[in-house]
């Protein structure tokens, strides 16, 4: 009995459940040092270091430095019992912001872990760069062991994982200030390069001009699938387009306990029209779950769902897309849009979700658009079940619309409280619609109007409009140029998006719960 308890204690202490090794017994290799703003380029790392036995290597260390770029390819095929862990040593590894055309590219192999998590026991990370460990979520920007910061430069993707990588894990990485996506996971145009058993957790992605996370190719088939994806405990905050775009999902995938906050902020002038949902996912085969997530902020839809029928996919009776126990709020047109694409079998099941603040204002960008129900379905094939959901009906819209394939039971209209984050540092006045990415001209080449108190992001800095601003008459200088008389600088947000244990939504969102007596509402 005592031995079993000791084993459990050791496993609890070990931050990497898949592999624990005692100090001093590890087989390690540290990449050569580089000067400030130099880069690593190892497209075949095994060929670059032939003296290293990558079949038994326990730690691949990246020495602390600010790197121009980093490419590590042809990682080894390893086993689940002995993965290769890739981590920083000696301090923080920062990649990006030195003018190169890519930031951090890694791929190939299987059963490897890329992490910036500090663990003395596992000999990973650095004690001075712990990120949000031990509950230090607030103001954790810049404190992660691995930081990707492009400073809105030429390199548009933060972390890119590809070249047939599979069975890998990504954790405790911060990715920010990207002209496009914070993280990207895919091997384009290879239908056999399935990324199976992937774990992505405890990452902090924020302030991107497009997607926060881009997972799965959106190019024409053939494209590989993700079986057994686990995506959890991530913070995706302040993105220009979708907070996350999940594609090519397959059986046993689960996306849970994440916070997706302030998406589609560039909705008036995105890189491409209609790239303005809070998030989207495309499910191919089998069953999956999307649960216990917070999704706040969208233009056209909080979520858009694609459910295509593609050659070679396997569909069985009992397949289900199970979307439950989530909190959706702040959309300018629709809560959920279920696309007409459909396979012939699977059930789409929405239950025990909250839908709040679906308030139509999309005609501000598209004058011909009209309001929609909270759940709007073009799918007439799959059985769609809506049960035990709670929605606020502030503007009188219907809860759902669609065909005879939809059944709805025990869905209730009532007031829904705002999510009260522990320490978001929100400087608005109680309305997430007041924040956008600054632009003077929208995607239709029309001037943009702002009102006193509106918040804008420009190069990840926050500004508040001092007065109403109509760019048909006012200067079109960006906020940093126009000055404080027009755009007043605001403090950075704190981004501690945990909830207090007293919150009515305590089971939703990050797995960490604040238990202390201080409970800071996110609104002034």
The pLDDT of residue 22 is: 43
Is the residue at 168 inside a domain?
Answer: yes
Residues near 153 by beta carbon (within 8 Å), at least 6 away in sequence: 96, 97, 98, 99, 179
At 435, list the tokens: 């924040």
Best CA proximity match to 138, nearest among 432, 429, 510, 506: 510
pTM of the model: 0.93
The pLDDT of residue 24 is: 57
Q: What is the DSSP string of 259-285?
A: EEES--TTTTS-SSTT---SEEEEE-S
Is the residue at 144 inside a domain?
Answer: yes
**Which of the 8 DSSP states describes residue 12?**
H
Is the residue at 380 inside a domain?
Answer: no
Q: How far is CA 201 from the centre of its chain?
A: 10
Best CA proximity match to 240, nearest among 134, 336, 114, 156: 156
State which of 151, 179, 207 marks the end of a domain: 179
d(CA 86, CA 74): 14
Best CA proximity match to 137, nearest among 279, 220, 237, 227: 237
The pLDDT of residue 521 is: 32
CB 477 within 8 A of CB 485: no
* Residue-range definition of the domain harbouring residue 20: 1-179
Is the residue at 114 inside a domain?
Answer: yes
d(CA 245, CA 272): 15
d(CA 286, CA 284): 7
State which of 137, 152, 179 marks the end of a domain: 179
How many other C-beta atoms are found inside a 10 Å radius of the C-beta of residue 502? Answer: 12
* The 421-423 sheet, strands edge to edge: 421-423, 496-500, 513-514
The pLDDT of residue 272 is: 85
CB 414 within 8 A of CB 392: yes
Q: What is the DSSP string of 355-373?
A: EEEE---GGGT-TT-----
At 114, list the tokens: 């890329």
Question: How would you write the pLDDT of the chain (524 residues) with one tens digit per residue?
Answer: 333 443 334 334 444 443 444 445 899 999 999 999 999 999 999 999 999 999 999 999 999 999 999 999 999 999 999 999 999 999 999 999 999 999 999 999 999 999 999 999 999 999 999 999 999 999 999 999 999 999 999 999 999 999 999 999 999 999 999 999 999 999 999 999 999 999 999 999 999 999 999 999 998 999 999 999 999 999 999 999 999 999 999 999 999 999 999 999 999 999 988 889 999 999 999 999 999 999 999 999 999 999 999 989 999 999 999 999 999 999 999 999 999 988 889 999 999 999 999 999 999 999 999 999 999 999 999 999 999 999 998 777 899 999 999 999 999 999 999 998 999 999 876 799 999 999 999 999 999 999 999 999 999 999 999 999 988 877 789 999 999 999 999 999 999 999 877 788 989 999 886 543 332 333 32
Residues near 310 by beta carbon (within 8 Å), at least 6 away in sequence: 221, 284
Is the residue at 258 inside a domain?
Answer: no
Q: What are the beta bridge partners of residue 235?
A: 204, 259
Half-sphere CA count of 296, side-chain side, radius 13 A: 22
State which of 118, 147, 179 marks the end of a domain: 179
Q: What is the DSSP string of 370-424?
A: ----SEEE---SS-EEEES-EE--TT---SEE--TTEEEES-EE---PPP-EEE-
The pLDDT of residue 504 is: 87
Best CA proximity match to 69, nearest among 160, 136, 165: 160
Dmax over CA atoms of the chain, in Å, equals 77
d(CA 414, CA 176): 37
- Cβ burial of 104 (10 Å; 0-12, 13-18, 19+) is buried
The pLDDT of residue 17 is: 40
The CA-based angle 58-131-242, given to 5 degrees, is 100
The pLDDT of residue 20 is: 45
H/E run at residue 11: helix 2-13
Is the residue at 73 inside a domain?
Answer: yes
CATH number of the domain to which 450 belongs: 2.10.10
Is the residue at 507 inside a domain?
Answer: no
**Cα torsion 440, 445, 447, 448: sign:** negative
Is the residue at 196 inside a domain?
Answer: no
Q: What is the DSSP string of 442-476?
A: -TTS-B-EE-TT-EEEETTEEEEESS-EETTTS--
d(CA 312, CA 267): 36
The pLDDT of residue 416 is: 94
**Count of domains for the chain:** 2
CB 279 within 8 A of CB 305: no
């Amino acid at each position: 009995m005592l031995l079993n308890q000791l084993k459990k204690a050791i496993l609890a202490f070990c931050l990497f459940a898949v592999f624990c090794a005692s100090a001093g017994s590890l087989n390690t290799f540290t990449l050569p040092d580089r000067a400030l703003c130099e880069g690593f380029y190892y497209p075949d790392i095994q060929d670059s270091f032939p003296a290293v036995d990558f079949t038994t290597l326990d730690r691949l260390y990246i020495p602390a430095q600010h790197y121009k770029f980093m490419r590590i390819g042809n990682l080894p095929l390893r086993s689940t019992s002995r993965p290769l862990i890739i981590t920083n040593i000696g301090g923080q590894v920062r990649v990006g912001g030195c003018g190169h055309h890519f930031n951090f590219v890694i791929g190939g192999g299987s059963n490897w872990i890329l992490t910036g998590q500090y663990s003395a026991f596992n000999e990973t990370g650095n004690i001075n760069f712990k990120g949000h460990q031990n509950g230090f979520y607030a103001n954790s920007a810049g404190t992660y062991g691995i930081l990707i910061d492009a400073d809105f430069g030429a390199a548009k993707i933060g972390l890119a994982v590809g070249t047939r990588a599979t069975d890998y894990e990504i954790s405790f990485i911060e990715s920010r200030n990207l002209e496009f996506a914070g993280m990207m996971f895919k091997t384009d145009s290879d239908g056999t390069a399935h990324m199976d058993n992937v774990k992505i957790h405890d990452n902090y992605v924020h302030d991107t001009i497009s997607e926060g996370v881009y997972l799965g190719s959106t190019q024409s088939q053939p494209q590989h699938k993700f079986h057994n994806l686990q995506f959890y405990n991530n913070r995706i905050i302040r993105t220009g387009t979708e907070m996350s775009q999940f594609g090519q999902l397959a059986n046993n995938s689960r996306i849970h306990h994440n916070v997706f906050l302030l998406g589609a902020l560039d909705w008036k002038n995105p890189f491409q029209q209609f790239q303005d949902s809070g998030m989207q996912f495309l499910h191919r085969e089998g069953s999956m779950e999307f649960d216990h997530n917070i999704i706040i902020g969208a233009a056209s839809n909080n979520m858009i769902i694609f459910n295509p029928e593609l050659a070679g996919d396997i569909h069985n009776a009992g397949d289900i897309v199970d979307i439950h126990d989530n909190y959706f709020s702040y959309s300018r047109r629709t809560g959920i849009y279920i696309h007409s694409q459909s396979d012939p079998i699977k059930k789409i099941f929405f239950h025990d979700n909250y839908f709040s603040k679906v308030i139509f204002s999309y005609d501000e960008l598209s004058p011909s658009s009209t309001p929609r129900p909270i759940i709007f379905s073009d799918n007439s094939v799959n059985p769609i079940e809506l049960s035990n959901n709670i929605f606020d009906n502030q503007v009188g819209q219907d809860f759902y619309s669609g065909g005879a394939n939809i059944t709805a039971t025990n869905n209730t209209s009532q007031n829904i409280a705002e999510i009260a984050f522990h320490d978001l540092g929100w400087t608005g006045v109680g309305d997430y619609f007041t924040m956008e990415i600054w632009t003077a001209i929208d995607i239709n080449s029309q001037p943009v109007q702002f009102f006193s108190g509106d918040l804008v992001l420009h190069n990840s800095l926050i500004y508040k409009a001092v007065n109403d601003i109509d760019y048909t008459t006012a200067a079109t200088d960006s906020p940093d140029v126009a000055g404080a008389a027009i755009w007043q600088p605001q403090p950075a947000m704190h981004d501690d998006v945990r909830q207090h244990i007293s919150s009515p939504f305590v089971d939703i969102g990050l797995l960490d719960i604040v238990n202390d007596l201080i409970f800071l509402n996110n609104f002034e």
